[in-house]
Structure 1
Amino acid sequence: MRIVKKILKFLAWFLGILLLLLLIFCVYVWKVSDVKPPAVQDRAVEALQRTQLDSTAYVLGNNWLRKSRYGLYEMYVSGGPFERGVINGKLSRELIVSQEIAFTHQIRKMIPSEGYLKFLKYVVGFMNRGLPEHVTDEYKLEIYGESLAASDSFKWIGSNYARQLNYHAAHDIGHALQNLMLVGCTSFGAWDTKTESGAMILGRNFDFWVGDEFAEHKIVSFVNPTTGHKFAYITWGGFVGVVSGMNDQGLTVTINAARSRIPFDAATPVSLVAREILQYAGNIKEAVAIAHKREMFVSESFLVGSAADHRSALIEKTPDTLAVYDPAADHIECTNHYQSDLLGAQKLNQEQMQGSASVYRYQRLQELLQQQYPLNPAKVAAILRDRKGLHDADIGNGNEKAVNQFIAHHSVIFMPDSLRMWVSTAPWQMGTYVCYDLRKVFAMQGLGTDHEVADTSLNIPPDPFLQTDEYARFLLFRKAKMNWMDKVKVGSGAFVSNNPEYYDAYRLEGDYQASLGNADRAVQYYKMALTKEIATVGERLAIEEKIRKINKAKAGK
């Protein structure tokens, strides 16, 4: 009896200590999740108010926001860090709110549990506990300024400032934790003999999808900071990081995700490293120096084009290593794996090359470039819009192995020597590519009237594919897929009949038949999927596992 009492007493003490430690940990997580905004010396800019020119244009001093007839929002912002942020917020507050609604709507669809969402709030806060230490004071002030325009409706996630700061690391967190490859992009550059004029030209697809709503309100932002270079980049409401941009020195930067380890602490978000490069680098050497001094917690490739150097290079960076890949040629290509001698043999990179769609897409990109040399903007657009597989094989519309995966948030073409860039319009990269001349935009003294600021005479027209029956059927397939993902009823044959060469159409049809209890038909569709061009090894293994499970269940009856 004494032994039992001692054991119970020990267990009581043990559980008490465990609960105390858990309480201390929870308090710690709550405290580190509560990010404090930076101190601001002069808040006079907060008193300024925007003036409405018409239903789609606002001005605030020399700063402005307008919606073009092509559906792109265009914004010009100038001044110091906090001033830029506040002006950004005042001009684009509706876009900031709608963007957060779109983002959180998709998150709620992915994670419908309120309790789990609250739990994840603190998990993300804990993972990002060191984030402010890795963001420069300039960018913290700018993010704080624009966060003042954010909606209080989302305080269940965190304070306005904490949310906006953390959103800049959202890509990094998601990509690193699950290697979701939400940013599985394609980019390339050419110059000298590989272009019609000898001038440098670069193209990129930013294949980033967090729901269709997220890509509805793209912003082409022109920034005139008090320090550094003037620059333009493609963004969305509330986001001051850079994924695709060019500065007034003719330096461009785009990012391509690589396979990463699971992080244990925060570091500088990739988009803010790219932003710093764009704002403060005038050539490749300066870009490398900036990338080298910033610690990151995911792996990424930065394709940097430089008018000053008349060439492009890849800055390949992991949390602990940096390498520069220079092809020593007049062209360069990048998908989602490293190419340098230093990082190419890395274990994670080899796994990425063997298991993902990256190498196949890289080979297809090279094939397309060989067909199109010498390049001009229209030819670059044709490459970025290409839907086929190697040797022009029909691999289905939406396949990750294609350059055009029909998920692009935006697509962009740069000509650094002339400071021109072409930005795609909906749908995906298939609509008009609108041309902007940075020299002309930055020479504007405010927006006196609401007028087009793009150089529309140089626009690239929409892809004729949009007028075809095949495109109409792809939209039907995609609608059925979205409905299926949202647990909305779909009809039999909605997948395969509308996208017959796409392996995922058969996988989806197999899942649909399995949900109805039609095991034999499900297996037939899964086996058909295996005969098509499957994007990744993981997806092939997942389909094979579905077949094994069904066969095992049938054998057990």
Structure 2
Amino acid sequence: MRKLIIATLLLFALLITWTQSWLFIPKPKIDDLSIVHHQLDSLGEGRLVYHKNFINVQKDGLWELYTEGSPFEIGYATGILTKDILHKHEDAFISKVIENSPIQSHFGVRLFNSLFHRHLDNRILPEYLEEIYGLSQHTKKEFDVFGDDYQRVLNYHGLYDLERSFDKVEINSSVSFAIGKSKTNNQGILIGRNFEYDLNDEFQRDKIIHFVYPESGFKFASLTWGGFIGTVTGMNEMGLTVATHPIKSDQPTKATYPVSIIGREILQYAMTVDEAYNIALTKDSYVRESFLVASAFDTTAIIIEKTPDGIDSIHIDQEALVATNHLQSKKLNETHLYNLDHATYYKSIRLRELIDNQQSFDVHAMANVLRDTKGFENTTIGFGNHKSVNALNLHHSVIFKPKTRQMWVSTHHRQLGKYYCYNLDSVFSNTQNYPPKTSLASKEFTLPEADFIYSQEYRNYNSYKSFVELITNWSPKDPPFKDKELMHFKRLNPESYQTYEHLGDYYRKLRDWDMAAINYRIALSKEVSSIHLKQEIEEKLYALRN
């Protein structure tokens, strides 16, 4: 009996020690902390300087951030200069962390999140841990109940890997495509990129274009958000570009090397597509991801497809290369069959159609493709449909011209506003001047906003989004909508399946089963964004019959 008690106590002690090893992770040791003693200076509204680092907040929702130095210095300066957007975006991260946790108490959320991301710090390169540690000094202290600041920011980088269920990948279906020099009048390769990552409307409006001058590796620019050092879209000073694409994966049981950090390492240390492939090859990943990588040095582009079981690449043909959110390599044995019911496959077909219909491409033609809201064969499928190349729900839209180190970045109005041009050679040569310029953009190369934002259809869509919020939050305790209000709602976005699904939901709350069924059937007759959402509507209709 005594031996059993001793064995039980030893086992319990080991369990506590093991739990503490991932619940309380050690912080990186920083030898030089001099960066923390500098003063934050303001040069006017939206313009801040911290030591050799600065930020310009443009009125178009674009935050131009420049940082340099050691990893900790870059992270610390990033945190202090972007504190406002960091705090707003951390609210969105914490909401998503709570949503993903099976336990809703503060300690339960922390326990689950720490268990999933256990030993994540042992898998990431020390320089990125130091940068994350510096950034974490400026997080919201009220969220310490979910873990200390360093551990929270570290875990946020695993959150991107968690959003891999089929319906989430379908709804957040990003696209990128490369146009070969045979269709660009020998301007070199052009790359277009639309990125969706739907946390909330505030998250979609503001974005950071981060220009980084690291101690080692290449200087680069990355499109990002507060509290994040990974790369989903970017270009380095050598003209190598990266665009990442999440692919449906089995739910991972633990975190490994976050795919966004793989993207960051490629951007910082690769000049050729072979170097990019070799970096991806050496990293473990428990989720599926594809990376569209283009290189000015090689004058080519490839898609690197990575799964927990293998890696493969697809090279550009004479004209184009298209990436959405499904595997294309036969070697990796994609078991899921895709067709036009799936947003990721539908978008790839639509992109190919738009590319084939265009004789030659310049940056204006690239912007037209990225702004496309139509369906296959130019059909009208409703605004906000995730089968569109532009679902009017983007975080950012970017055009790259690697040969000249130029990148065009979209501004708000649902990313249909102006594309500001940034020349990396010019940006990094001018960052040493003081005071910094009010904008790092080369304004003479700005692409104008889409004509669509001045149309009645666009005004209708904005009104539609406001009405969606009203009808979604309506309860039987509220006064019912008038018939003319519902007719007006229908006219705002008449070809969208969502219009009729919302009406069906409303009539179901009213217990008007006939009208609910009529609207659900109309919704199913439209182009539904994904097979999962189509099944949900079918289930609602079936429930009415029973």
Q: TM-score scaled to structure 2, two decimals?
A: 0.91
2:32 and 2:86 mapped to 1: Cα distance? 24
Please state how far the C-alpha of 1:159 moved relative to its aligned partner.
Answer: 0.8
Q: What's the offset of the Cα at 1:381?
A: 0.7
Letter in 2 for 1:265: K
Give the superposition deviation at 1:270: 1.0
After superposing the two structures, state which structure 1 stretch, 356-365 or 413-422, moved more. Answer: 356-365
Contact 1:250 1:307 in 2 (8 A): yes
Q: Which secondary structure state, in structure 1, belongs to the residue aligned with residue 229 of structure 2?
A: coil
Report the counterpart of residue 445 of structure 2 in structure 1: 458
The answer for the alignment partner of 1:481 in structure 2 is 468
1:380-435 Cα shifts (integer Å, max 9, x gaps):
11111100001110000011111011110000000000000000000222011110
Task: Give how far 1:114 is off.
Answer: 9.0
Q: Judging changes above 3 Å, is the alpha-carbon distance between structure 1 residues 111 and 264 closer, same or farther for their aligned structure 2 residues?
A: closer
| AA in 2 matched with 1:99 | H
Does the residue aligned with 2:163 lie in a helix, a strand or coil?
helix
Residue identity opposite 1:88 in structure 2: T
Alignment check: 8 A CA contact 1:93 1:149 kept? yes
- Displacement after TM superposition at 1:125 (Å): 1.4
Distance 2:445 2:63 in 1: 19
- For residues 103 and 427 of structure 1, the distance between their equivalents in structure 2, rounded to whole angstroms, comes to 23
Going from structure 1 to structure 2, the CA distance change for 1:118 and 1:437 (only over 3 Å counts) comes to same
Aligned residues: 533
Amino acid paired to 1:478: K
Indicate whether 1:138 and 2:127 are aligned: yes
Q: CA offsets, 1:289-344, max 9 Å, x none?
A: 0000111121011000100110100000011210101143231111111112212x
**From 385, 399, 402, the counterpart of 1:399:** 385
1:301–1:314 CA contact under 8 A, matched in 2: yes
Match among 380, 402, 420 for residue 366 of structure 2? 380
Distance 1:62 1:31, change over 3 A: closer
User: CA RMSD, aligned part only?
Assistant: 2.7
2:545 equivalent among 528, 532, 551 = 551
Name the residue aligned to 2:507: 513
Q: Deviations over 1:112-154 (max 9, x none)?
A: 9994565233212111113112111010000000111112111
* Alignment map for 1:297-446 (pairs within 5 Å): 297-343=286-332, 345-347=333-335, 350-351=336-337, 356-444=342-430, 445-446=432-433
Query: Which residue of 47, 57, 60 maps to 2:47?
Result: 57
- Tell whether the 8 Å contact from 2:284 to 2:308 is kept in structure 1 after alignment: yes
Counterpart contact for 2:211–2:222, Cα < 8 Å = yes
| Contact 1:495/1:506 (8 A) holds in 2 | no
Deviations 1:419-474 (A, max 9, x none): 00000000222011110010000001144154222011111111111111211121
| Gap change, CA 1:112 and 1:141, over 3 Å in 2 | closer
Write the distance in 2 (CA, Å) between the matches of 1:212 and 1:441.
30
Please identify, of 38-47 and 300-309, the stretch whose mean Cα deviation from structure 2 is larger: 38-47
- CA–CA distance in structure 2, aligned partners of residues 483 and 28 of structure 1: 49
- Name 1:280's counterpart in structure 2: 269
Letter in 2 for 1:496: K
Specify whether residues 30 and 480 from structure 1 end up closer, same or farther in structure 2 by C-alpha distance, changes over 3 A only: farther
The Cα of 1:353 is off from its aligned counterpart by 5.1
- The counterpart of 1:89, out of the listed 70, 79, 90, is 79
Q: Which moved more, 1:194-203 or 1:178-187?
A: 178-187
Please tell me whether residue 44 in structure 1 is matched to residue 34 in structure 2: yes
Aligned partners of 2:169 and 2:246 also within 8 Å: no
Q: 1:446 to 1:125 in 2, by over 3 A?
A: farther
TM-aligned CA deviation for residue 258 of structure 1? 1.1
1:138 and 1:505 mapped to 2: Cα distance? 49
State the 1:234 CA deviation: 0.8
Are 1:77 and 2:67 matched, yes or no?
Answer: yes
Distance 1:354-1:125 versus aligned 2 partners, 3 A rule = farther
Instruction: Check the 8 A contact 1:181/1:257 in 2, yes or no.
Output: no
Write out per-residue CA displacement over residues 274-294 of structure 1, whole angstroms, 9 at most, x where no aligned residue. Answer: 000000000000000000011
Alignment counterpart, residue 530 of structure 1, candidates 524, 527, 531: 524
Q: How does 1:177-256 map to 2 (within 5 A)?
A: 179-181=168-170, 183-256=172-245
Read off the aligned partner of 1:436 and give its amino acid letter. Answer: Y
Deviation at 1:50, TM superposition (A): 2.1
Q: Extract unaligned runs of 5+ from structure 1.
A: 1-12, 553-557
What is the CA distance between 1:503 and its match in structure 2?
Answer: 0.9
Q: Which residue of 2 aligns with 1:469?
A: 456
* Post-superposition offset of 1:526: 0.6
Distance 1:180 1:300 in 2: 11
Q: Hey, what's the Cα distance between the residues in 1 that align with 2:408 and 2:372?
A: 17
- Report the AA paired with residue 480 of structure 1: F
Provide, for residues 188-232 of structure 1, a one-character-per-residue CA deviation record: whole Å limited to 9, x for no partner. 011222113432110010011100111233111100001000000
Other structure's SS at 2:257 match:
coil
Aligned partner of 1:555 in structure 2 is none
Pairwise CA distance, 1:537: 1.8
Which letter maps to 1:335? Answer: T
Residues 38, 107 of structure 1: CA spacing in aligned structure 2 closer, same or farther, 3 A cutoff? closer
Alpha-carbon distance in structure 1 between the residues aligned to 2:325 and 2:89:
27
> Structure 1 length normalisation: TM-score?
0.90
Does structure 2 conserve the Cα–Cα contact (< 8 Å) formed by 1:175 and 1:182? no
Alpha carbons of structure 1 residues 447 and 517: separation in structure 2 relative to 1, 3 Å: farther
Q: What's the offset of the Cα at 1:481?
A: 2.5
Percent of aligned pairs sharing the same letter: 34
Q: 1:26 to 1:172 in 2, by over 3 A?
A: farther
